Structure formats: structure tokens, C-alpha cells
A and B are shown apart, each in its own frame.
Chain A
Amino acid sequence: MTKQTRANSIILVLTTLLSLTLTAVVVAQEPRLESRVPDPPRSEINAILDSARAVGLPTEPLVDRALEGVSKGAGPDLVLEAVRRLNTELVAARDALGDQSSDAEIVAGASALRAGASPEDLTYLRQLRPDQPLTVAAAVLADLVAVGVPLDTAVAAVVALAEQAADAEYIAFRKNVERDISLGASPVTALGVRLEAAADHLDLGSRNPAPRPRKP
């Protein structure tokens, strides 16, 4: 091998390495964060996005959460912590709901976990509604907790409706509970009344869902 050939080979290897490095660095940048999110925490958020992308998690909600924080004037630490926390919840939601879950289901599942539901609750919901999207059911669970319904009561109601209720019925149920609460009913009372009405409408009494798994 002549000196010229050896030099050319070295240059070729170096440029290949340069291209791979450049690719890795550039790919990690989320364009929507570039002009909106300062660094820090932009680099750390990009790293979280990369890891989420690598395991097939939706990155859109993570970007949205970072942009929300910046628009609302939150500091870098607060924005980064919010993105980290959401990423953890998305991972847990996907694990609980299964690898075939849609992005919307994973996001709604993460909301339910944020509301206090357990991963076992989500897995059980999936078992009860194997052929229907869980987006609305999981979201209604989170929404009920957000308007003051105790967690266990909200989980029990959503599970009770799981086998029979369509998405529209879940949403109507939630709206009715919210309306009753806004009119002065206690959250538990509102939920009880509306669940009873839904049970009559959906004929829930004729079915016995499988027992809900308990935490060890």
C-alpha cells in the first residue's frame, strides 16, 4: 500500500465517521424545540425524545409538554422535570396497555396513571375491552378524578361500564357527572346516580365481569 493510498483510506474512514457523528447529532434535534425552548433544557429533552423514539413511544406529547411549559413561562428545570415525568408515565402506560396500543391510548393511559390509577387498572380495562380503543375510557377515568371523584370510585365506575359502554356513552356519563357536580351534588353522589342510570340503560346487571385483580 502506497503512502497516497494509505492517506486516502484514512481520509475515507474519517469522513465516514464524521458523517455518522453528524447524523447522530443532527437527528437528535427536534425542529419545533429549536426556536422555542432554550438550552438547557433543550439538549436533555432531545435526549429523552431520542430514547422514547428508540422504544417506539409517541414523542409528540413530550414535545407538546415542553412547548406548554415554555409558553406558560416555566423555568428550565420545571420544563425538563415535566417532560421526564410524562415520559415515565408513557412508558408505564404502554407497558400496562400492551405494545399494540395506539399513541392516543398511551397518552390517555398516562393521564389515568397521573390521576392515580394503577397499571393493573389499565391492564384490566384492556382485558375488558379487547376489541375497542381505550382512549376514552382511560381519559374519562382521569377526568372523573380531576372533578373530584375519589380514585377508587372512579376506577370502579369506569370498569363497570367497560364491557358495555361505547365511547359516546362514556363521554355522556362523564358530562352528566360533571353537570351534577356543578349544580351542587357531591362527586360521589353524582357518580352513583349517573352510574345507576347508565346501568339501567346498558343493562349492566345481567353481566358479571371477571373479578378485578388485586395488588399483591
Chain B
Amino acid sequence: MSDRGDKLDRAIDLLKEPVTLDASFDTRVMSEVESAPSPRIWTQRVWTAIDWMTRGRTVTVSPLAGAAVAVGVAMVLLTGRNWISQDTTEPTGLAELAGVQFVIIAPAATSVSLVGDFNDWATSATPMQPVEGNGVWSVTVPLSAGRYRYAFLVNGDTWLSDPSAPPVLDDEFGRPGSVLTIGEL
């Protein structure tokens, strides 16, 4: 029994000795704690978020703020539709352009414009240039593959078709016109 009592006394003495900890002990412990997975806390956060999102609320909206939101929604939808519209109207796979030269002989003309599907039929968008003053007018326009209707507008009031191109079939507007087809490049 005395031997057992001595061992017990030594153990008690050892336990009474103060423990000296490494200076970085706290840091290391906290680092381990933070890096350890904590599914329970994550799950709690998810459920808290779900609870927050599904909880009923009373929203107060002034008429002015509501109208502003409505206009904002309308503008977003409008802009989105425009993007889609632009994407769908652009010919697919026809990105390459061909430089097409248009030529007309009009010796008495003071001005000639090329007007057609490729410039929104704007009468002054594509003026033609006289070639060395011999009555020949010319312009080169980059075009992608497709079929285009066009005409020449002489002196701002006389429409002419292109004698070197097929005429427009059954023109509804009573003015001459021509068609040009460009195959895929």
C-alpha cells in the first residue's frame, strides 16, 4: 500500500506543477478550428437563409417608386428584346463582306446617289462619284451575302434602274429598281 501511496503522491505533485504553453499555441489551435469542417454551422446558415427568404413581409411602395420600378422593368425588357432582335436579323454565317462596285452612265447628272436595302433607302447616304468627268458615276459598297433591291437617284428626283442588273419584278411603287444577289463567300 505504501508503494501505491508513493506513486499517487508523485502523480499529484506532477499535476500540481504549472504547465508552460508555447507562445504560438493559441494561434495554432484557432487555425485548426477554423480550417476544420463545420457542417452543422453551414447547414444552420442555409436554413436561416431559407427561412429569411420564405418569411412573409409587408412591403411599402410609394406610387412614385412603383412607377420608377415599372419603367425600369420596361426598359430592361425593351433593351433585351432589341438585343435578341439584332441577333436574329443578322444573317448567320455571312460575316464576310464583298466590295461591290455600282456604275451608272448619267452624263447630264449633277448628282447621283445609290439607294437601296443596304442603306435603309436613305437618298443621301451613298453619293456616287463622277469618274473623270465622262458621265460615268461609280461607288463601291461592302455587302454581305444576300439579295438586295436598289436604284439610282439622279439629281434628287429621277429614279433609274441599273442596266447591268436584273430589274425588280412587279415593282409595287411605280419606280424602276434592280436586284443584286451575292452568294455566300
> Within 8 Å of chain B (Cβ to Cβ): is A91?
no
Residues of chain A contacted by B74 (CB below 8 angstroms): 19-20, 22-23, 26
Cα A103 to Cα B90 with chains together (Å): 8
Known: A22-B71, A78-B172. A60 touches B89 (CB 8 A): yes
Partner of B117, one of A56, A64, A140: A64
| CB pair B121 A12 closer than 8 Å | no
A19 and B75 CA atoms in complex are apart in Å by 9
B105 within 8 A of A: no
A4 and B183 alpha carbons, distance in the complex (Å): 66
From A5, A15, A72, B175 is in contact (CB under 8 Å) with A72
Tell me if B181 and A12 are in contact (CB < 8 A).
Answer: no
- Decide: B89 and A59 in contact? CB cutoff 8 A: yes
Task: Chain B residues near A114: list those with CB within 8 A.
Answer: 169-170
Within 8 Å CB of A168, what residues of B?
A: 183
Does A19 lie within 8 Å of B121, measured CB to CB? no
Find residues 97-115 in chain A having any chain B CB closer than 8 Å to their own CB: 102-104, 107-108, 111, 114-115
Q: Which of B59, B88, B147 contacts A107 (CB 8 A)?
A: B147
Q: Tell me the complex Cα distance, A94–B178, Å.
A: 23
Q: How far is the CA of A114 from the CA of B145 in the complex (A)?
A: 20
| A178 proximal to B (CB < 8 A) | yes
Chain A: interface size category: 35 or more
Contact of A111 among B85, B121, B174, B179 (CB under 8 A): B179
Tell me the chain B residues, 101-138 only, with Cβ under 8 Å from chain A. Answer: 115, 117, 120-123
Asked if A147 is at the interface (CB within 8 A of a chain B CB), the reply is yes
Q: In residues 126-179 of chain A, which contact B (Cβ within 8 Å)? A: 133, 135-136, 139-140, 142-143, 145-147, 167-168, 170-171, 174, 178
B27 lies within 8 A of chain A by Cβ: no
The smallest C-beta distance from B44 to any residue of chain A, in angstroms, reads: 32
CB of A104 within 8 A of CB of B89, answer no
Judged by a CB distance under 8 angstroms, whether B73 is at the interface is yes
Task: Determine whether the beta carbon of A59 is less than 8 Å from that of B85.
Answer: yes
Q: How far is the CB of B155 from chain A (nearest CB, A)?
A: 15
Question: What separation, in Å, do the CA atoms of A181 and B41 have in the docked complex?
Answer: 87
Residues of B within 8 A of A22 (CB): 70-71, 74
Asked, given contacts A15-B66, A26-B74, A115-B169, whether A104 binds B146 with beta carbons under 8 Å apart, the answer is yes
The listed residue with most A CB atoms (<10 A of its CB), out of B117, B159, B166, B177, is B166
Q: Across the interface, do A143 and B166 meet the contact criterion of CB distance under 8 Å?
A: yes
CB nearest neighbor in A for B167: A146
Contact at B70–A108, with CB atoms within 8 Å?
A: no
When C-beta atoms are compared, the residue in chain B nearest to A15 turns out to be: B66
Tell me whether A104 and B91 are in contact in the complex, defined as CB-CB below 8 angstroms, given that A26-B78, A64-B120, A72-B174 are known contacts.
yes
**Are A111 and B70 neighbours in the complex by a CB distance under 8 Å?**
no
The 8 A-B pairs of least Cβ separation, nearest first, read A167-B183, A19-B70, A15-B66, A139-B181, A143-B166, A71-B121, A67-B121, A82-B172
B→A interface (CB under 8 Å): 58-61, 63, 66-67, 69-71, 73-74, 77-78, 81, 85, 88-89, 91-94, 115, 117, 120-123, 145-147, 149, 151, 159, 166-170, 172-175, 177, 179, 181, 183-184
Q: 19 pairs across A/B with beta carbons < 8 Å? A: A8-B59, A15-B69, A19-B69, A19-B70, A20-B74, A22-B74, A61-B117, A64-B117, A68-B149, A69-B172, A74-B174, A82-B173, A111-B147, A139-B181, A142-B179, A143-B179, A147-B167, A170-B183, A178-B166
Q: A102-B92, A111-B147, A136-B183 are in contact. List 18 more A-B contacts (CB 8 A).
A: A15-B70, A22-B70, A23-B73, A26-B78, A59-B85, A61-B117, A64-B149, A67-B120, A72-B159, A72-B173, A72-B174, A72-B175, A102-B93, A108-B147, A111-B169, A114-B169, A135-B183, A146-B168
